[in-house]
């Protein structure tokens, strides 16, 4: 890079969700001492805040390694919060996020994701049955809005992938997820 040229800036989109009974659903919640950071209030989920994992982030700044520990929502809490969000908001991003996380999570796919939910929230699963049934209905076939949203976004990022295969993968993942969580099990 020549003297005087600037490096291209990287833009990161960081989304936060909240579950505050004191704010209306879909309200943007502001944080103290922050000018541009907030969260969308998804009242009623509660799962994300009860499934917290500590993650370490590392980066080099001026040649010095910097680390920070942050609390993030675990796989089960994230998926249940996203199911509630998808049911209430009906946004393509929510459908995409659910299918993507089911197919590409660090735990190894749909079965471990469902097991994480069963382990953490098993007794509460009847309370989310409507959201799970709604999720299944929106992934009922490859032309439904869920698989379409997943396939369209994946094709933006990976144009070489086949839309039909992507949509079918999303349908199968959600069907399996629903089956594992909706069936009666001790």
Domain ranges of the chain: 17-73, 75-182
Q: Average pLDDT of 155-170? A: 97
- Classify 4 in phi/psi space as left (phi over 0), alpha (psi -120 to 50) or beta: left
| Res. 10: pLDDT tops 60 | no
pLDDT for 114 equals 98
Select the more confidently predicted residue: 62 or 18.
62
Q: Give the global pTM.
A: 0.79
Cβ proximity of 152 and 170 under 8 Å: no
Q: What percent of the chain has pLDDT over 90?
A: 58
Angle between helices 75-89 and 110-121 (to 10 degrees): 90
DSSP track, 30-97? E-TT-SS-EEEE-TT--TGGGSEEEEEEEEEETTEEEEEEEEEE-HHHHHHHHHHHHHHH--HHHHHH
| Res. 159: pLDDT tops 70 | yes
pLDDT for 88 equals 84
Q: What percent of the chain has pLDDT over 70?
A: 85
């Amino acid at each position: 890079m020549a003297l005087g040229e600037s490096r291209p800036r990287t833009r990161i989109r960081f989304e936060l969700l909240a579950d505050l009974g004191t704010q209306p659903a879909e309200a943007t919640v502001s944080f103290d001492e922050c000018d541009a950071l907030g969260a969308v209030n998804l009242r009623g989920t509660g799962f994300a805040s009860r499934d917290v994992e500590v993650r370490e982030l590392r980066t080099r700044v001026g040649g010095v390694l910097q680390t920070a520990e942050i609390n993030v929502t675990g796989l089960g809490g994230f998926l249940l919060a996203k199911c509630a969000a998808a049911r209430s908001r009906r946004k393509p991003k929510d459908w995409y996020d659910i299918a993507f996380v089911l197919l590409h999570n660090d735990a190894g796919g749909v079965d471990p994701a469902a097991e994480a939910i069963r382990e953490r929230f098993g007794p509460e699963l009847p309370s989310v049955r409507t959201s799970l049934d709604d999720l299944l209905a929106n992934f009922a076939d490859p032309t439904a809005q869920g698989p379409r949203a997943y396939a369209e976004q994946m094709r933006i990022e990976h144009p070489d992938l086949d839309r039909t295969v992507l949509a079918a993968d999303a349908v199968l993942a959600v069907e399996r997820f629903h089956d594992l969580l909706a069936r009666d099990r001790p």
